Amino acid sequence: MKALVTGVNGQVGKALLRTAPKGWTCVPLDRAALDLSDRDALIRMVDAEEPDVVFNAAAYTAVDKAESEPDLAQAINARAPAALAAALLRTGGKLVQVSTDFVFDGTAGHGYRPEDLRNPQSVYGTSKAAGEDAAGDAAIIVRTSWVYAAGGANFVRTMLRLMRERDELRVVADQIGSPTWATGLARTLWGLAMADKRGIWHHRDAGVASWYDFAVAIAEEATAIGLLHRVPHIVPIATTDYPTPARRPSFSVLDVSATRAALGDEAVHWRANLRKMLKEEQALG
């Protein structure tokens, strides 16, 4: 069995390669090997490799920068999955498209279900919603949130750096979601692919948090294992105190009950997975 994995230099792409089940051959594709904005190149790659699965883990993820680069965001996040889906219809493979909680507006009073109405509030969210539509009904679409991994570019590692540099940090406390360890996400992606569970699914770690809660936990857990030497003063602030070009959902918790039932497992709490990631980060030196 063969899988093409796009975005292999990113957190999810690396995790997919690490967690590949026995018997699968993975073809890793980075930007140098495949330009996601080049429709013809995407089609040629699928035609040449004839994969059983394409994991599209690559994306334009610069949320704020996307506000000034909407065409590029659309090319990578929407037109690329459209090209992959079209090519796979001919070769018989399936597309696994990674999406985001940013397709929702953050006004729900409950965890967002896969079938809930989308209403993205940013260029990034709009481009990812378009990518879901482009992937089509034959694809496996998995929305996730607040992804992090050891060695990656993410909130956890940014906080670790700032906590070493500063005595005080100000962190937004009125945006609520769920941190997600990339390794757990990758296992879910593989599970859904092997079970051929087409449609829209959600994955996140168990529990909810604000960015402030997440930062406090990072400081406490990193200090406990010696990755930090002290817990800095962390001040909760409002979103309005930290304005950004892109609007972010104030509540983006995803309901993962259908996913967990389909795979017959349970979500692991985000703090437990944070501990695992921090130990991996410590091992990196």
pLDDT given for residue 107 in this prediction: 96
Work out the pLDDT band at 159, boundaries 50, 70, 90.
very high
Q: What integer is the mean pLDDT of 167-192?
A: 98
Q: What integer is the mean pLDDT of 25-37?
A: 91
Q: What integer is the mean pLDDT of 205-233?
A: 96
Domains of the chain, earliest start first: 2-212+238-284 (3.40.50.720)
Share of the chain above pLDDT 70, in %: 100
Beta strands at 199-202 and 168-172: parallel, antiparallel or unpaired: unpaired
Among 60, 124, 148, 212, the one annotated catalytic:
124
Q: Which residues pair with 95 in a beta bridge?
A: 54
- Report the amino acid identity of residue 32: A
Q: What integer is the mean pLDDT of 22-49?
A: 92
Q: What is the value of pTM for the model shown? A: 0.96
- What are the residues whose beta carbons fall under 8 Å from the beta carbon of 169, sequence distance 6 or more? 159, 162, 163, 215, 232, 233, 234, 235
Look over the chain and give the mean of its residue pLDDT values, rounded to a whole number.
96
Segment holding 73, helix H or strand E: helix 70-74
DSSP H stretches of helix in 95-170 = 123-135, 155-165
pLDDT given for residue 33 in this prediction: 87
pLDDT higher than 90, residue 31: no
The CB-based long-range contact list for 8-11 (8 Å cut-off, 24+ gap) reads 8/57, 10/57, 10/58, 10/59, 10/152, 11/147, 11/148, 11/149, 11/152, 11/153, 11/154, 11/182
Q: What integer is the mean pLDDT of 225-244?
A: 95
Dist. CA 257–CA 95, nearest whole Å: 22
pLDDT given for residue 109 in this prediction: 83
pLDDT tens digits for range 252-282? 999 999 999 999 999 999 999 999 999 999 9
pLDDT given for residue 32 in this prediction: 86
Is residue 124 annotated as part of the catalytic site, yes or no?
Answer: yes
